[in-house]
Amino acid sequence: MKKERSKKYKILQALRILVQTLFFLLFIYLLFGTHFPGKDYIGRVEIFFHFDPLLAVAIFIASRTIFVSFIFAAFTVILTFVLGRVVCGWVCPLGSLHQFFSFIFKKSKLLKPKKNSDNRTVWKYYLLIFILVGTLFSLNLVGIFDPLSLLYRSFATSILPAVSHSFSAFIGLLYQVNLSSLGDILVQFYENLAVNPTFLQGFFIGVLFISIVLLNISRERFWCRYLCPLGAFLGLISRWNVVKLKIDPQKCIECNLCTIHCQTQANPFPEEEWKSHECVYCLTCSAICPTSAVCFPIKSTPEKILHVDLSRRKLIFTSILGLLAVPFFRLSPSARRASPKLIRPPGALPEKMFLQKCVKCGECMKVCPTNALQPALTEAGPEGIWTPMLVPKIGYCEYYCSLCSQVCPTGAIRELTVEEKTQIKIGLAWVDKNRCIPYVLGTPCIVCEEHCPTSPKAIKLVKIEVKLPDGNIKTPVAPVIDIDLCIGCGICETKCPVVDKPAIYVTSVGESRSERNQLLLDIIKTF
């Protein structure tokens, strides 16, 4: 028996790695490109998401509305229908990342490919069903598990900020060793990258992400193999698989290498048991085969497709679980009463609709020029975890900026022009007279008024009388809010010199998007 690996598949495998690298770099490029571009309107940096049919379907069902940009997802669907899960193996940036780390873990002997296959691959199908059953009742959990959302969120709120902190520290080191001219260049470069460095849940999201990557120590591409709901979705629609696995029985020495090294447990050997819906066409099997027995010829007849092996009982069980989850996720009071801290970005749809559409991807948090948008934890209820909210203690809503509304891939934040954006209220500011410097110390301050971006200013200064501890009376000017003019941008809170707990703060009441979260029953104005 001639022992020789197939050159053709070696080359194809190299090509696949190249394509994966390119798509991953494109993803990173668009991620880095998601910041104020020096002009008011940014291009389609969120395009990756629009090729994601899982998001398209889940949002369509959850919100009962069609978002036109998701038309690109049809391309992915057709591609998968014809060619199988090539998107998983050749395009998906999270898949590439997992594969890269699997490779690293294999090389470092942390991961030993196992002979036996298991039936945990069905998990992802149940997860998919769980998610989709929820969407029937408008419970949108797809963003938590969707690979693109997961990757983008983790990178934007955790990995990049961590890298940027290290980079900053490195620059600091340069100044310490008198390489300040190099430091100067790097600082300007760093400033131009505009990475938002501060995220409330950066640590938590980061730990989750790293855990998911570390799962690759247990099994190669653990996430893709067992968990990815998009992979499951694409597996279900890969019906034709024009390119089919073929093992030449003449050459095969039954060494089982192909199955051991299969990245997604598609079981190439024996040929009859090849699971086309698990195959991501990475071509590892054909490249690794010592006798060039495994190949992927084009065979246009649909045949021998093994169906996903889901038990009816478990299917019903999962559906019921998904059903039960719906009320469970809605136990929080957030639906009844608006949370004061839940200041949504300008253009955000009314809360119910917003939750149906937001996929927690973090695009808005990445693009925000002041780092103001942060992933929520409990503020929006359990279904609203990691949805964006403005935290004025960290940053504020920049007056002439509508970037978050432009990059939102699902329309959860309605696309706005800068002009439209300046008209939107996202909350109202309140003065804490117990802490405000003029009210307490009788000394001037006016910092909030100075920064208030509306014209005329929503913060007025009025003369007040302050009794000081020594009994003397001072008459400084102090801030008072004109709630008609206040748009809730929060710059007053960000810039307030009372650092620990600002003496002026914004809450969500009065937000334009809500009918109920209002301060005044101003019927004449609303209609």
Residues at the contact surface with other proteins, assessed by CB under 8 A: 35-36, 38-39, 171-172, 175, 180, 183-184, 187-188, 191-192, 194, 369-370, 398-401, 437, 443-447, 449-451, 453-457, 461, 477, 495-497, 499
For the bound state, the minimum distance from the C-beta of residue 39 to other proteins, rounded and expressed in Å, comes to: 8
Of 242 and 446, nearer to other proteins (C-beta) is: 446
Task: Closer to other proteins by CB, 134 or 161: give it.
Answer: 161
Task: Compute the least distance from the CB of residue 186 to other proteins, in Å.
Answer: 9
Task: Pick the closer one to other proteins by CB: 243 or 458.
Answer: 458
Nearer to other proteins among residue 191 and residue 303 (C-beta): 191
Q: Are the beta carbons of 390 and 344 closer than 8 angstroms?
A: yes
Quick one: 192 or 250, whose CB is closer to other proteins? 192
* Residue 497 CB, nearest approach to other proteins (Å): 4
Which CB, 106 or 451, lies closer to other proteins?
A: 451
Dihedral of the alpha carbons of 457, 499, 191, 32, in degrees to the nearest 10: -90
Least distance to other proteins, CB of residue 401, Å: 8
Query: What does the alpha-carbon distance between residue 126 and residue 314 come to, in Å, rounded to a whole number?
Result: 8
Q: What is the DSSP string of 328-353?
A: HHT-SGGGTS--TT--PPTTBPPHHH
In the complex, least distance from residue 160 CB atom to other proteins, rounded to whole angstroms: 16
How long is the chain? 527
Contacts of 337 (CB under 8 A, 6+ apart): none
Encoded tokens for 340: 């004061």
Minimum distance from residue 469 beta carbon to other proteins (Å): 17
Cβ 454 to other proteins shortest distance, Å: 6
Element (H, E) at 507: strand 504-507
Q: Quick one: 191 or 470, whose CB is closer to other proteins?
A: 191
CA angle 131, 135, 139 (to 5 degrees): 95
Structural tokens at position 173: 């080191």
d(CA 363, CA 35): 10
Query: Rounded CA gap, 391 and 60, in Å?
Result: 30
Q: Which two tokens stand for residue 359?
A: 């996929």
CA within 13 Å, CB half, 487: 22
How far does Cα 299 stand from its chain's mean position?
38
